[in-house]
Amino acid sequence: MAGVARDAEDPFITHRNLLFTVAYELLGSAADAEDVLQESWLRWASVDAARVHDPRAYLVRIVTRQALNQLRTTARRREEYVGEWLPSRC
């Protein structure tokens, strides 16, 4: 059932170490990887797991997409910075 708490056989729990590694390798930060895992778990909790043929692949895809979205957001923030710039040394 979608949205219902799942037991220890939950694929997210089973593959959590793999999912963290995927997020960490893409983002380079443990804190960012944990944020991605939290968002991914929320998405996973709303899915009807009975309709997912390969939960491991599905979860890796969710985590990868979330991490890539976070990278794009971070890059966009850096590009749009309009604050003071340090003067160059002459």
**What is the structure's pLDDT at 3?**
47
∠ CA 23-26-27, rounded to 5°: 80
**What is the structure's pLDDT at 74?**
79
User: Residue ranges of the chain with pLDDT lower than 50?
Assistant: 1-4
Give the start-to-end residue ranges of the domains of the chain. Answer: 11-79
Report the distance separating Cα 26 and Cα 44, nearest Å: 20
Count CA within 13 A, CB hemisphere, residue 90. Answer: 0
Any idea which fold 11-79 has?
Rna Polymerase Sigma Factor; Chain: A (1.10.1740)
Which phi and psi angles does 84 have, rounded to 5°?
Answer: -65, 140
**What is the structure's pLDDT at 62?**
97
Q: Identify the CA nearest to 66 among candidates 47, 40, 46.
A: 40
